[in-house]
């Protein structure tokens, strides 16, 4: 008679063995193998570089959930690369319009009770919610799984965690797992497979189980495993049209540790910025002013979460100045929320609702915050920099919705009649004074001398000069490194250009957008002036207003002074004299006009 825990039984069945024990290393067949847009391109590269083929395309998928908007050039490139590979190898792509891959796996039935699932997602262990063994893995591991159909695993120790009693009505699944994090921290369950039992667990819906399972990684556990009951199996049948037979641990199974916890005293919790396991009660931080709220992620983007938020937000408004962002986890959930009227409630309340995906946990979608911004979020991680550069509190959807209305952290039972207002701090007046005092007077020579970068090309647009993927940069000192990195043949310009160099080019230089960075990147590099036959209208104004010397010339000057790339030239802004010091030849270009000279002398329009 076997005496296997749930994880041991699943691994044994997929390793072709009757028994496995903690510490055993076995090759495990993988029922479902997934690569995301994050890491997917590297998985493909590993396969190609090692001349490997996909073992079973019907069990192999791409899920593009990190950047469903394609708003980042690198993500867009990787996504398209993976799409092309998928077409050639008959691999199904759950593309940017579908949502979070792990949720799609559950709702579509290609992950199921008793199965094995791997992904380039560190929260692939969310599959524990349905009694499936899921693991996040690196690019090489996933490539091996795609090529071989199996990968090696070390059988983990198992812990049996029984939760006794009933949760209070105001304590959600998210509160439950935050309470567990408060008890176990990030390492007391490290490397173990945790099976959850008890009345509180039996009463959890599928959505609630997903919330808890998704935070196994933050607890340091390999996985949090639930044995599906009849209600869960019925819910999966309704979603997938498939009847699944769950696997359960043997009654005589041996565990490294068995723990019982009374949940009747559990209360609504938050995680303090910095660590998911650094927890406090909501009541102890009530009144903490927030700038934004976020509801979504693989932890809390399900229908149950959205309904809770809508019940609280209905007929109310998000506090003045607070931004609330809501992102359903899958497109099907988005549509259901639309059909049930939840999207309308969110919009009436003043929330921003985005397309399905990972959102704030990934840099490519809504949910990120800025420096000093205080956010209350339903995500599963609040490490510094994970969801932006601000401070992130983790909480349940109810707490986030209530806090967004209040303008400060609070729970659903304590929403004020009048929302909190932001107070003026005077910070920006002080900052402006400090900047003015520190600002150096810019030198404004009327004659410059330097090496010419002769770029014989017309219509060089602002995306070639300074690509839109860098538009969030506001510090001029950081802009120079990206000058011309999207202009073919001049990608190394920023590394090779020297202060004092001169750029000379053709017609319509700076065509395109209004981005000031396309001027400021040259200022950052110390380029002394730009000469072109003509400029884009907005670019010309931007350059003059920023005191970047720009001049125009007639084509004949090129032969007259024999300009070549690398020549040393001297330019007089007032007279328009251009002398090629390399050849000794001189000629005339169009000088500054009076208004341009006056702005230049001041160091810029705002000087």
Chain segment 390-418, per-residue pLDDT in tens: 899 999 999 999 999 999 999 999 999 99
Domain CATH number, residue 451: 3.20.19.10
Q: Evaluate whether residue 521 is within a structural domain.
A: yes
Neighbours of 211 (CB within 10 A): 31
Token pair for residue 82?
């993976």
Token pair for residue 308?
């809770």
**Residue 233: C-alpha distances to residues 87, 163, 237, 301 (Å):** 34, 21, 6, 21
Q: Evaluate whether residue 417 is within a structural domain.
A: no
Q: State yes or no: pLDDT of 71 exceeds 70.
A: no
Whole-number percent of the chain with pLDDT over 90: 78
Q: Evaluate whether residue 57 is within a structural domain.
A: yes
449: confidence class by pLDDT, cuts 50, 70, 90: very high
Helices 206-213 and 303-313, axial angle in degrees (round to 10):
100
1: confidence class by pLDDT, cuts 50, 70, 90: low
Q: Do 506 and 388 sit in the same domain of this protein?
A: no
Q: Do 243 and 385 sit in the same domain of this protein?
A: no
Domain CATH number, residue 98: 3.30.499.10
Report, as an integer, the average pLDDT of 21-34: 96
Dihedral, CA of residue 34, residue 40, residue 46 and residue 51, to nearest 10: 70
pLDDT score, position 217: 87
Q: Per mean pLDDT, which range of 152-156, 360-364, 409-413, 463-467 is the poorest?
A: 360-364
User: How many C-alpha atoms does 544 have within 13 Å on its Cβ side?
Assistant: 19
Contact 343/349 with Cβ under 8 angstroms?
no
pLDDT in tens, 87-133: 999 999 999 899 999 999 999 999 999 999 999 888 999 999 999 99
Report, as an integer, the average pLDDT of 318-328: 96
pLDDT in tens, 530-542: 999 999 989 999 9
Given 203, 237, 262, the domain boundary residue is: 262
Q: Do 170 and 308 sit in the same domain of this protein?
A: no
- Total domains in the fold of the chain: 3
Contact 260/201 with Cβ under 8 angstroms?
no
Q: Do 227 and 342 sit in the same domain of this protein?
A: no
Given 406, 434, 467, the domain boundary residue is: 406
Q: Do 256 and 276 sit in the same domain of this protein?
A: no
Range of the domain at 15: 6-262
Q: State yes or no: pLDDT of 307 exceeds 80.
A: yes
Q: Do 163 and 81 sit in the same domain of this protein?
A: yes
Q: How far apart are CA 105 and CA 134, in angstroms?
A: 11
Q: Name the burial class of residue 576, with classes exposed (0-12), middle (13-18) and buried (19+) by CB atoms within 10 angstroms of its CB.
A: middle
Q: pLDDT averaged over the chain?
A: 92
429: confidence class by pLDDT, cuts 50, 70, 90: confident
Q: Evaluate whether residue 436 is within a structural domain.
A: no
54: confidence class by pLDDT, cuts 50, 70, 90: very high
Q: Do 540 and 462 sit in the same domain of this protein?
A: yes
DSSP assignment of 198-214, as one string?
Answer: SHHHHT--HHHHHHHHT
430: confidence class by pLDDT, cuts 50, 70, 90: low
Q: Is 220 helix (H, G, I), strand (E, B) or coil?
A: coil
pLDDT score, position 187: 86
pLDDT in tens, 251-287: 999 999 999 999 999 999 999 998 888 899 999 999 9
605: confidence class by pLDDT, cuts 50, 70, 90: confident
Token pair for residue 558?
């090129």
Q: Per mean pLDDT, which range of 1-10, 224-233, 326-335 is the poorest?
A: 1-10
Q: Do 256 and 278 sit in the same domain of this protein?
A: no
363: confidence class by pLDDT, cuts 50, 70, 90: low
Q: Do 10 and 60 sit in the same domain of this protein?
A: yes
Contact 44/85 with Cβ under 8 angstroms?
yes
User: Which is more confidently placed, 473 or 454?
Assistant: 454
Report, as an integer, the average pLDDT of 6-15: 97
Neighbours of 403 (CB within 10 A): 34
Token pair for residue 301?
């983007």
Q: State yes or no: pLDDT of 431 exceeds 90.
A: no
Helices 342-349 and 331-339, axial angle in degrees (round to 10):
80
Q: Evaluate whether residue 589 is within a structural domain.
A: yes
pLDDT score, position 75: 80
Q: Per mean pLDDT, which range of 77-81, 363-367, 372-376, 515-519 is the poorest?
A: 363-367
User: How many C-alpha atoms does 465 have within 13 Å on its Cβ side?
Assistant: 29
Q: Which of 13-22, 212-221, 432-441 has the highest mean pLDDT?
A: 13-22
CA 424, 412, 405, 403 dihedral sign is positive
Dihedral, CA of residue 135, residue 137, residue 143 and residue 144, to nearest 10: -70
Q: Do 282 and 236 sit in the same domain of this protein?
A: no
Report, as an integer, the average pLDDT of 185-194: 91
Q: Evaluate whether residue 369 is within a structural domain.
A: yes
Q: State yes or no: pLDDT of 432 exceeds 60.
A: no
CA 361 to chain centre: 5
502: confidence class by pLDDT, cuts 50, 70, 90: very high
CA nearest to 549, candidates 523, 521, 530: 530
Cα distance from N-terminal residue to C-terminal residue, the chain: 86
Q: How far apart are CA 306 and CA 220, in angstroms?
A: 28
Alpha helices in 65-136 (DSSP H): 73-89, 101-108
Q: Do 181 and 285 sit in the same domain of this protein?
A: no
pLDDT score, position 133: 97
Contact 187/220 with Cβ under 8 angstroms?
yes
CA 299 to chain centre: 15
Q: State yes or no: pLDDT of 549 exceeds 90.
A: yes
User: Which is more confidently placed, 217 or 337?
Assistant: 337
Q: Evaluate whether residue 420 is within a structural domain.
A: no
Q: Do 363 and 471 sit in the same domain of this protein?
A: no
Q: Evaluate whether residue 249 is within a structural domain.
A: yes
State the pairing for strand pair 585-588/577-580: antiparallel
Q: Is 367 helix (H, G, I), strand (E, B) or coil?
A: coil
Edge-to-edge, what's the strand order for the sheet holding 60-63?
A: 92-94, 60-63, 32-36, 116-119, 133-136
Given 234, 262, 290, the domain boundary residue is: 262
371: confidence class by pLDDT, cuts 50, 70, 90: confident
């Amino acid at each position: 008679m076997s005496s296997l825990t749930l994880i041991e039984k699943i691994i044994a069945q997929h390793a072709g063995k009757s028994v496995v024990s903690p510490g055993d290393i076995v090759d495990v067949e993988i029922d479902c193998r997934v690569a995301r847009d994050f890491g997917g391109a590297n998985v493909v590269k590993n396969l190609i570089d090692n001349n490997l083929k996909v073992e079973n395309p019907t069990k192999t998928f791409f899920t593009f959930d990190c950047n469903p908007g394609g708003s980042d050039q690198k993500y867009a490139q990787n996504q398209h690369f993976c799409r092309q590979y998928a077409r050639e190898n008959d691999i199904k792509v759950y593309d940017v319009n579908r949502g979070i891959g792990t949720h799609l796996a559950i709702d579509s039935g290609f992950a199921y009770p008793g199965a094995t699932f791997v992904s380039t997602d560190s929260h692939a262990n969310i599959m524990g919610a349905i009694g499936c063994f899921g693991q996040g893995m690196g690019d090489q591991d996933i490539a091996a799984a795609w090529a071989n159909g199996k990968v090696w695993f070390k059988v983990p120790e198992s812990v049996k965690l029984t939760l006794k009693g009933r949760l209070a009505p105001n304590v959600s699944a998210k509160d439950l797992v935050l309470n567990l994090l408060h008890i176990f921290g990030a390492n007391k369950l490290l490397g173990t497979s945790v099976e959850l039992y008890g009345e509180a667990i039996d009463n959890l819906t599928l959505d609630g189980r997903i919330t808890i399972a998704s935070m196994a990684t933050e607890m340091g556990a390999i996985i949090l495993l639930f044995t599906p009951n009849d209600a869960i199996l019925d819910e999966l049948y309704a979603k997938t049209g498939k009847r699944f037979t769950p696997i359960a641990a043997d009654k005589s199974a041996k565990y490294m540790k068995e723990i019982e916890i009374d949940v009747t005293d559990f209360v609504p919790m938050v995680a303090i910025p910095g660590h998911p396991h650094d927890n406090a009660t909501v009541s102890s931080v009530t009144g903490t002013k927030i700038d934004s709220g976020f509801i979504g992620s693989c932890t809390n983007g399900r229908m149950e979460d959205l309904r809770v938020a809508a019940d609280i937000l209905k007929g109310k408004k998000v506090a003045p100045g607070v931004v609330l962002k809501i992102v359903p986890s899958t497109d099907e959930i988005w549509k259901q929320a639309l059909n049930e009227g939840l999207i309308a409630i969110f919009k009436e309340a003043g929330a921003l609702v985005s397309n399905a995906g990972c959102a704030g946990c990934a840099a490519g979608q809504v949910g990120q915050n800025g420096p000093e911004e205080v956010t209350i979020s339903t995500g599963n991680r609040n490490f510094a920099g994970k969801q932006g550069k601000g401070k992130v509190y983790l909480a349940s959807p109810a707490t986030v919705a209530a806090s967004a209305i209040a303008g400060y952290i609070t729970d659903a039972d304590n929403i004020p009649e009048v929302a909190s207002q932001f107070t003026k701090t005077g910070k920006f007046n002080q900052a402006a004074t400090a900047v003015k005092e520190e600002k150096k007077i810019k030198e404004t020579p009327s004659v410059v001398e330097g090496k010419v970068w002769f770029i014989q090309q017309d219509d060089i647009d602002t995306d070639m000069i300074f690509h839109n993927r860098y538009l969030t940069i506001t510090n001029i000192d950081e802009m120079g490194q990206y000058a011309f990195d999207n202009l073919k043949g001049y990608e190394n310009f920023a590394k090779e250009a020297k202060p004092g160099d001169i750029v000379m080019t053709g017609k319509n230089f700076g065509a395109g957008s209004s981005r000031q960075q396309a001027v400021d990147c040259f200022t950052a590099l110390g380029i002394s002036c730009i000469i072109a036959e003509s400029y884009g209208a907005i670019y010309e104004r931007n350059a003059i207003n920023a005191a970047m010397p720009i001049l125009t010339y007639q084509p004949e000057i090129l032969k007259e002074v024999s300009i070549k790339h690398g020549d040393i030239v001297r330019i007089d802004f007032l007279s328009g004299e251009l002398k090629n010091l390399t050849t000794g030849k001189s000629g005339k270009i169009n000088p500054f006009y009076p208004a341009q000279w006056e702005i230049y002398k001041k160091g810029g329009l705002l000087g």
